[in-house]
């Protein structure tokens, strides 16, 4: 079984890695074409800087597609039949693929917390975006042009102070918290805003979602000619549902825990039910 574990784990990682390379190249090509006005060098730099954020947001779909392609390759080569003949459950190999997905999940979690905000900061000057004059913080808003501070409490302005002293790091963290998906782990951790807490839960849920998606992509029964398409469609549907819950939580319609975790919990519940049901046959 150890040999089977290593082989399946390796195949899942290889094909998930190839999916990462394919999608990174595709998103990079789209970015270069869209920003040709910047020139070839700057548009290529922008594509590289934007790639981490795009790949992190699509990590569950990447795990599902990569695992599906690995299982299709094994089925075409007759290796899955050999495993079935040896009495090895397809759910066992799916669990191994899920462990590969879990590894990718932790990797994307680290990238989201420590790399994405740096790459986005490097990309901002290339986009020629207008400077953000106001920066919102938990206790009020700061106008960066003259350091005018407007303090608020319970939705009301309590004081206005000119030349307020804030460090550059505090201002950068506040700017990141205005875009939680691009914020660093430290910026989210130091914020009491509901959107920051929501993003923290969402990033943790994505770690588990990557594992579940890899297991689903490996285990789903479909003809090899259509399996990757079926798995990708299901993964996209799940991603849309998760995004809808995230948006509802960000707008305050549902709780932060529900918005961050519900889609992943349902996915894991469906897979667990299938696993327990299949245990009786092996």
Which structure tokens are listed for 10? 């390796």
Which structure tokens are listed for 66? 């990569």
Element spanning 142, H or E: strand 140-143
Nearest to 175 by CA among 130, 139, 141, 128: 141
Sign of CA dihedral 187, 189, 194, 197: positive
Coil, helix or strand at residue 143: strand
In which residue ranges of the chain is pLDDT below 70?
A: 1, 128-134, 136, 138, 144-146, 155, 163, 167-178, 278-282
- CA–CA dist 56, 58 (Å, integer): 5
How high is the pLDDT of residue 176? 64
How high is the pLDDT of residue 278? 66
Sign of CA dihedral 103, 109, 115, 119: positive
Coil, helix or strand at residue 158: strand
- CA–CA dist 191, 87 (Å, integer): 52
**Cβ pair 225, 68 in contact under 8 A:** no
- Give the pairing type, strands 134-136 and 156-161: unpaired
Question: Using one digit for the tens of pLDDT, what is the confidence trace for 100-129?
Answer: 999 999 999 999 999 998 888 788 777 765
Which structure tokens are listed for 226? 């259509």
């Amino acid at each position: 079984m150890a040999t089977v574990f290593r082989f399946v784990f390796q195949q899942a990682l290889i094909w998930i890695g190839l999916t990462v390379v394919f999608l990174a190249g595709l998103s990079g090509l789209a970015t270069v074409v869209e920003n040709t006005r910047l020139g070839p060098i700057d548009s290529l730099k922008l594509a590289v800087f934007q790639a981490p954020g795009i790949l992190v947001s699509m990590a569950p779909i990447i795990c599902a597609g990569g695992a599906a392609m690995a299982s299709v390759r094994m089925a075409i080569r007759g290796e899955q039949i050999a495993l079935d003949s040896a009495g090895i459950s397809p759910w066992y190999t799916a669990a191994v693929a899920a462990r590969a997905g879990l590894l990718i999940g932790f990797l994307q979690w680290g990238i989201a917390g420590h790399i994405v905000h740096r790459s986005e900061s490097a990309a901002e000057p290339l986009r020629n975006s207008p400077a953000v004059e106001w920066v919102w913080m938990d206790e009020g808003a700061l106008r960066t042009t003259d350091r005018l501070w407007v303090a608020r409490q319970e939705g009301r302005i309590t004081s206005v102070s000119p030349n307020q002293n804030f460090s550059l790091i505090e201002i950068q963290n506040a700017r990141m918290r205005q875009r939680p998906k691009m914020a660093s782990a430290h910026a989210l951790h130091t914020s009491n805003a509901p959107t920051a807490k929501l993003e923290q839960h969402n990033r943790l849920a994505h770690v588990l979602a990557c594992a579940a998606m890899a297991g689903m992509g490996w285990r789903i029964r479909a003809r090899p000619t259509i399996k990757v398409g079926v798995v990708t469609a299901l993964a996209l549907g799940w991603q849309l549902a998760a995004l809808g819950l995230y948006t509802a939580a960000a707008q305050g319609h549902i709780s932060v825990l529900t918005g961050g975790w519900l889609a992943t919990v349902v996915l894991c519940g469906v897979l667990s039910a299938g696993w327990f049901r299949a245990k009786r046959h092996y």
